[in-house]
Structure 1
């Protein structure tokens, strides 16, 4: 089988304040890269561990790692960690892919979003960490993130965070306009109509087409559009859960109830701050972005469970999240593993929580200390209680394509057309499926 090539994606991640989609030319250029013979570190010695000392390079955009690095170096004074931010999303993955292809400058640790990890795994570009005992951490993490780093019995990263979904809503806007906060998706549609009718400048949400939000919505609706069995894949956007989501979202689009504002733009932050955007169904990592970039909304916003398709249900999904992996080309694998275990399973977890991260570790999610944190931004609300409950109620059975990063990069040209009147949402999803399937076949996958 032709080795699938990791491809950048424009979707968003925790603590990332802005992302830009690649142009078609950039995507094509990246997709043209080959991985043949690129995992030059394969078979290299693992090197010394933290106790012996040494130096490693870590590529990550996650700001909470700054303190983790300082603490790690203090505990292991013979260790030097070079933390490098080569960019977020597309910039990060392009730089990593180029380093791997060149066989030069590959970091010892790399941050990979869960949906992107499988492509690097298929290309044999990241290491199986079971040789360092990563499999013994089974039970440490919540089910979704833990399953995301596993493949064929191997463990290819340690979860850094998770993104169980919740609904962030501007309580002041709902109170001012006399609209009830929705608990079901039918309520959500009705609230969208009432809010916009009461104040034409207010929209229930913004959405001009985003693959991460779409896949999370399908996941929460019980859809399983992607099936992967080795080198065989299938893509099916005709399931009941998909139809349920499409029918409702199409009404929001047709009735112009969604603000045509792109995520992670100045206009988006302004809309969150001035009440133009009334809700945001997003991952539990979002509070750090609210606090740092939407100061005008402090005290106005609250957190509630994600709306349900049936009253009384508690189904949720993941939205975002990353792991730290060890590239196969690293010559300091033991030290690299010691660092990611410290950051994602050891003392570094608490440090990251204190700096605004949402963990994937079960013990922290269940601790009274974590659950009782009062968020000043959300009016003193104990929002972690809602996030933790969401993490426990993520719907089982979801999987991403082994080339999801590429698939996400073509969303705008396919499914995204529904938001500009070029197609219905169902037609757009079908086009997305067809384009993704064509790419799969070009890469040597069998498409059922």
Structure 2
């Protein structure tokens, strides 16, 4: 019996479909068992993948860690063993840039088994009760927020992701050069817009991640709308939460739809695995179109294969979640992936969070973002 160990994050979306696909793979390959363990969502964002690659055969990862993994040879290059036709299919059926986000330094280091980006969510019943239409512009969002009906995840990591979005909307790509995070005038406008939103929401938002935000939205009737949070199709499915959410694309600001920051997850194979061929074959299995739009999505997963997002049955299961948000996924911005980026992301998130808490002025915040960015980006360029 071959036993593989896998690590993912501790939510239905991240865990249950992996267990389901592992069980099915075992039924088809009785000499193989795959055991999945979980870690927190925060650890998913910033825990050392080097340590995980020493302990696990299979790792569900966030794409910004790919540069670090490639530099240190942590993962097996999947293009060395997987058929070209399979990889071509994955590329052709990518949701946004999910597939290419795991391609780095000439190799494919993971398969996009999961796709996500911040999307809009709402309690349609609460909006109806308030007599308010679904927001379509940023002015609509702010009006609803000032009336006390909006929530947004604003812990450090999500605050940075949200800042990226506003920075892009102000007309500049953040972190585009190694010498600075971005220009001061754009940064001031982006930071101000984010703080205006957070200040209009309950301060508890500063302590919530997307999952906690969705739990709050579904456990009471106090929140009508969330303008952007990494999407979880589970909350749009009947029977998952006490109350069901609806989802949609982002609103427009300055006449253009906001572009959120790509997330999602990929399955990678540790270079230390003693059963590389089997681990790679399972990663292929769970990423195939038939599995992604079959038992993967049926088990609460949020697939990375485009055919699943367009599948009629998948959308029926999730109250139209996939088609309702696909455009936002396709328009999402991909973060940097250089070695050391995860440490930058952690430090920069705390800088933005201090600004949102009112503990730093805009000049100090911009200086800190530039300083932290130069610290990590210059190491790559040195």
Q: What band does the TM-score fall into relative to the shorter chain?
A: 0.7 to 0.9
Shift of 1:414: 1.5
Secondary structure of 1:115 counterpart: helix
Unpaired stretches in structure 1, ≥5 consecutive residues: 1-52, 197-201, 376-380
Any conservation in 2 of the 1:250–1:425 contact (CA below 8 Å)?
Answer: no
How large is the Cα RMSD of the aligned pairs?
3.3
Q: Which residue of 1 aligns with 2:381?
A: 446
CA distance in 2, matches of 1:218, 1:96: 24
Q: Which residue of 2 aligns with 1:192?
A: 145
Show CA shifts across 1:314-337 (max 9, x none).
554344211111112122211111
Show CA shifts across 1:411-445 (max 9, x none).
4541211122112457425413312422455xx33
CA distance in 2, matches of 1:335, 1:247: 50
Q: Is the helix fraction higher in 1 or 2?
A: 2
* Farther off after superposition, 419-428 or 70-79: 419-428
Q: Which residue of 1 aligns with 2:360?
A: 423
Secondary structure of 1:145 counterpart: coil
Any conservation in 2 of the 1:218–1:241 contact (CA below 8 Å)?
Answer: no
Any conservation in 1 of the 2:118–2:231 contact (CA below 8 Å)?
Answer: no
Q: Which residue of 2 aligns with 1:364?
A: 308
Show CA shifts across 1:171-197 (max 9, x none).
33333333343211122222222x23x
C-alpha spacing 1:120/1:440, structure 2 compared with 1 (3 Å): same
Any conservation in 1 of the 2:161–2:261 contact (CA below 8 Å)?
Answer: no
C-alpha spacing 1:423/1:163, structure 2 compared with 1 (3 Å): same
Confirm or deny that 1:55 pairs with 2:8. Answer: no
Confirm or deny that 1:252 pairs with 2:178. Answer: no
User: Which of the numbers 124, 129, 144 marks the counterpart of 2:73?
Assistant: 124
User: Which of the numbers 269, 293, 313 marks the counterpart of 2:215?
Assistant: 269
CA distance in 2, matches of 1:391, 1:91: 20
Any conservation in 2 of the 1:164–1:394 contact (CA below 8 Å)?
Answer: yes
Scaled by the length of structure 2, the TM-score of the pair is 0.82
Show CA shifts across 1:217-268 (max 9, x none).
524626421247xxxx454232876555334223334xx3022121148797
User: Which of the numbers 55, 64, 83 marks the counterpart of 2:36?
Assistant: 83
Shift of 1:291: 5.9
Confirm or deny that 1:394 pairs with 2:335. Answer: no
Q: Which residue of 2 aligns with 1:212?
A: 158
Any conservation in 1 of the 2:44–2:62 contact (CA below 8 Å)?
Answer: no
Shift of 1:159: 0.6
Aligned residues: 366
Q: Which residue of 2 aligns with 1:278?
A: 224
Confirm or deny that 1:166 pairs with 2:119. Answer: yes
CA distance in 1, matches of 2:94, 2:320: 22
C-alpha spacing 1:152/1:240, structure 2 compared with 1 (3 Å): farther
CA distance in 2, matches of 1:92, 1:57: 20
Any conservation in 2 of the 1:168–1:303 contact (CA below 8 Å)?
Answer: yes
Scaled by the length of structure 1, the TM-score of the pair is 0.71
Shift of 1:60: 2.1
Structure ID, larger Rg: 1
Any conservation in 2 of the 1:55–1:81 contact (CA below 8 Å)?
Answer: yes
Secondary structure of 2:64 counterpart: coil
Any conservation in 2 of the 1:174–1:180 contact (CA below 8 Å)?
Answer: yes
CA distance in 2, matches of 1:426, 1:127: 44
Any conservation in 2 of the 1:113–1:320 contact (CA below 8 Å)?
Answer: yes
Confirm or deny that 1:113 pairs with 2:62. Answer: yes
Any conservation in 2 of the 1:164–1:319 contact (CA below 8 Å)?
Answer: yes
C-alpha spacing 1:95/1:118, structure 2 compared with 1 (3 Å): closer
Unpaired stretches in structure 2, ≥5 consecutive residues: none
CA distance in 1, matches of 2:239, 2:263: 19
